[in-house]
């Protein structure tokens, strides 16, 4: 995707600290597009995806306030893979379209796309560079169990359902190992932020040169 500014994709498994990392970049004034937030926005009452889901599953899929009954929907698509495929055929294009729209908003330097499924969803193809917040699996389980009050077995099941740590490491351009303190994570993010500012400036100059050559 061609934009006037650099797009950095940030990802990581559950409990990796990607939210803390994205919050840090945001505090540096970097616009953040969060795929999870977009996924909720596109199914808000009245949105086209919400309407399609309502018509397909009948009003049983809605709560009294007309928002999606996510527990009911999760159970439905868990029991029927074809229903899951249908749901993804509605939501995935809508999510991608809204992400592209938000990524194209003006930015002084670069924009961050945060997505836990950056590679699985092919959203990395919207980015010029990707950053993985990496953490050993044992630490993932400890952090997530303490944060969400889930059992280690539940967390392990979530991890197994996601792309493997090794596969993410292979695919990512940049990696921050987040196995120490929050301060260490912030320092590593600051180092990457400085690198990305330089890359963003170079990218901007290339885009200007390309436009001048085409005119």
- Which residues belong to the annotated binding site for ATP? 15-20
Residue 130: strand pairing partners: 9
Residue 103 CA to residue 1 CA, distance in Å, equals 10
Neighbours of 142 (CB within 10 A): 15
Residue 54 CA to residue 63 CA, distance in Å, equals 11
Residue 151 CA to residue 7 CA, distance in Å, equals 36
Beta-carbon contacts of residue 108 (< 8 Å; ≥ 6 apart): 5, 29
Annotated binding site: 15-20
């Amino acid at each position: 995707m061609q934009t006037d500014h650099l797009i950095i994709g940030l990802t990581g498994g559950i409990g990796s600290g990607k939210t803390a990392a994205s919050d840090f970049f945001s505090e540096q004034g970097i616009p953040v597009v969060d795929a999870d937030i977009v996924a909720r926005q596109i199914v808000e009452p009245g949105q086209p995806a919400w309407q399609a889901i309502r018509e397909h599953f009948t009003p049983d899929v809605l709560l009294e306030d007309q928002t999606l009954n996510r527990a009911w929907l999760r159970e439905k698509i868990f029991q029927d893979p074809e229903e899951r495929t249908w749901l993804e055929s509605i939501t995935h294009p809508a999510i991608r379209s809204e992400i592209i729209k938000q990524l194209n908003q003006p930015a002084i330097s670069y924009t961050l796309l945060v997505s836990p499924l950056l590679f699985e969803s092919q959203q990395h193809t919207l980015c010029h560079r990707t950053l993985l917040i990496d953490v050993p699996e044992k630490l993932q389980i400890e952090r997530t169990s303490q944060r969400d009050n889930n059992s280690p077995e539940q967390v392990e099941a979530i991890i197994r359902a996601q792309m493997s740590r090794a596969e993410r490491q292979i695919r990512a351009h940049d990696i921050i190992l987040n196995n120490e303190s929050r301060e260490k994570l912030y320092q590593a993010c600051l180092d990457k932020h400085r690198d990305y500012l330089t890359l963003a400036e170079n990218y901007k100059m290339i885009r200007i040169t390309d436009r001048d050559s085409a005119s």
